[in-house]
Amino acid sequence: MQQGPLRMRVALPLGVDEAAMAHRVAGLPVVTLPVITLAGQTMGTTWRVLVAAPLAASGPLLALVQGRLAQVVASMSHWQADSELGRFNRAQAGTWQVLSRDFADVMQAAFAIAGASGGAFSPAMGHLVNRWGHGPTGPVEKAPDAAEVAALLPFCDWRALAWDAAARRLQQAGGVALDLSGIAKGFGVDAVSDALTAQGFAHHLVEVGGEWRGRGVAPDGRPWWVDLENPPGADLPPLRIGMHGLAVATSGIWVRGWHTLDPRDGMPAEHVAGCSVLHESAMWADGWASALSVLGPEQGMALAQAQGLAVRWIIPSDQGFAEKLSPALLDMLG
């Protein structure tokens, strides 16, 4: 007998964003505004913004979004040699670099996630990312063997980096190559969302490369909706997120294959097909999704509970795919 359509599940935030909703209380009904849709390319992927605003604001909003994303790329792109990150990677051993505020905020979060996850996340994986063919050097003809991976691991250890948070200084240990692809897209989403909010556009949905953040509500008064992706052929019930004061980031195999590396041994992490994390910040959701994708639910569930993280893991099984949800996400499903 053919199975009927799977029931849609809906995850909703446990509270209301009072700051965003104050615009409606103050007599500025969003329902009278159209939704402007903007889109473009950045960080080797695409971006999209939906914002409740007068149509006349389209041009200035496009310039605002493009300008803010350009700042993030100039700071943290590992694809552009002249980026702030590129200059750090070429710096001499023992030298200190004062980081921009953007770069410093991302590094602070990266160090926190690396420490809390026992090294399942690392901002210093540049050499291994390139050697496995996932970086700016492009695909490789032959995967590295165990000996080559072992030789690169000392240059991919985040603990070798000295970090002076108060002065926003990072010291190059010598030959360490930063790669922030596991957290920088999320930061870009936050940066755009914050820029829109600062200009008075409190009701919007921002996406960069599959990482999302929603603030306020759509013009109909409901949350902005985002459906989490499933791997092709996965027979899993759909999961819709009410993006009111929430961000969601996903690390999955359905776009780039098994691209996630375990910083602890430098090898591909192939036990999780997808990991989605919901958080107030897209940067933190992005970084945690990277770490918890490596850990998987067996190692990562206790960490998710300790951190209060709403997480969905998708795991390959003999029947195709299975999923595991953290208690915080189950609470959001009601």
Q: Which residues are annotated as a binding site for Mg(2+)?
A: 182, 286, 290
Question: Residues of 280-293 as b/e, b for ≥16 C-beta within 10 angstroms?
Answer: ebbbbbbbbbbbbb
- Which residues sit in the known binding site? 182, 286, 290
Whether the Cβ atoms of residue 97 and residue 107 lie closer than 8 Å to each other: no
Residues forming beta bridges with residue 208, ordered by sequence position? 47, 211
d(CA 119, CA 122): 6
Beta strands in 127-218 (DSSP E): 162-164, 169-171, 204-208, 211-215
Whether the Cβ atoms of residue 291 and residue 117 lie closer than 8 Å to each other: yes
Question: Residues of 91-102 as b/e, b for ≥16 C-beta within 10 angstroms?
Answer: beeeeeeebeeb
Q: Which residues contact 7 (CB under 8 A, 6 or more apart)?
A: 237
Tell me which residue of 123, 105, 103 sits closest to 114, measured CA to CA. Answer: 123
Tell me which residue of 208, 218, 191, 214 sits closest to 250, measured CA to CA. Answer: 208
> What DSSP state is assigned to residue 266?
S
Would you say the C-alpha torsion 168, 68, 72, 52 has a positive or negative sign?
A: positive
Here the tokens at position 89 are: 């990677």
Four-point Cα dihedral 183, 188, 193, 196, nearest 10: 170
Tell me which residue of 311, 283, 328, 333 sits closest to 113, measured CA to CA. Answer: 283
Here the tokens at position 280 are: 């107030």
Whether the Cβ atoms of residue 54 and residue 45 lie closer than 8 Å to each other: no
